Structure 1
């Protein structure tokens, strides 16, 4: 298959430099293909045309899966063509099969640098100085110019959440596209919003603890105490209370506590070491 002059052929030896390191500078689109794959041949001119049109804004690379089977296996390629976008040395999005040019263009544009990126950096600097209200105002203005930018919406909703603007954050998140709603960042922020909502609508920690001392099977108070503790930064104590409900509660209480615990896992994020540890404890409690 004839390759575009805008594409870089990648091997196992060059993958680190041409894909991982390059993706720290700009998005890298990796096309996993094979010479015998007819759909790959149909997709190739679309990718080549867009690489030419967007020259300098993303890098198109191609991996021959017959010659580079190790890379195909490592990145879970099961069908061809498979196209992945790498940013900051990791895959962040993908599609398989042949898409029309319009859909491929939309796929690429979701990951291209945008003017709002600089605004988000400035907002982050303001927030680090404690000027969260100013960060919110700045991002609201940027969102008016770029209302379809999911990353911008998530950043704004995050700062709104930090200011206890629960309803404002929820409203902002409603505009996030369905694909982005499946991302860990969206799910994690939504979980944090819901936990804070519970905490804000609950009594204080001492009152809840006192109630549980006299009525240990008051599961609603225990659930609310878990949210209050999480908001105070005591995530492990929060999860311990939910685990207690899983261990001692009847079927509905057990199921509800499990869902609350999974919500905390989402709020913390999969990279948090405590999540893997408490997942094991949850599995033990359910058995």
Structure 2
């Protein structure tokens, strides 16, 4: 399933709905799954007419994926809403799932349908919002969990390729008092601007200049390593790459490509495990090639990251 790239400002103007004042007591998004009861996870909220504005505002940090469901109209839509809530957990805050029960919040459904020039909002339906406005075409129909994972992998790739790096905080977590977002070091601005413009080759060149000028600059080294991952995966079809790797488990090219795609999609640990398992199955030059590639992925994430620390321990066990 191919998704349209993120666009700014988006095709549908919902600013009127977003600016409606919330009802009294309608502050933070309400936690909960599609049924509004048990918590759906760290990155999923139940959206009500009172909390809609707050949820939409969160899309200025990172994408919000609204899932419209209805027990009366389409019972299977509730399963999909729960699946979306489960799938987004694997992306460490790159997405926030907003679950909208159209039976309980008909005004939201009516406003979205009107803005989308639909007579009635179909359910289930997914819409991706960025900066308060739709960032892709609506995604109608029930999707399996596997299909949802493919969709979110593709969206995560697009985020990374466009230099969109914001992440949602886990629901219930609040920033420490006085804690501000760190300012971007101007040295990295040319590379970040190139990523935002989709010019991966230019981003690689800019990061390479920084590394050449100061090999001890860990942030530049990490940026260069990740930009190279993006460079290697440009234009690669995710589904075909996974099929090729599944059919040839000892094909180094196929396995490292899927590891790179996992990195771009936010599945860092999956990428590490794949290559560590490949290290175990290879010898001599092949093993060293896989090890070097894995070290590059470690550099992209950062040596202080717990996943990298665990990955290095597993790599050492695999080698010795």
TM-score w.r.t. structure 2 length?
0.41
Structure having the higher Rg? 1
TM-score between the two structures when normalised by the length of structure 1: 0.45
Q: Pick 1 or 2: higher relative contact order, CA cutoff 8 A, min separation 6.
A: 2
Higher helix share: 1
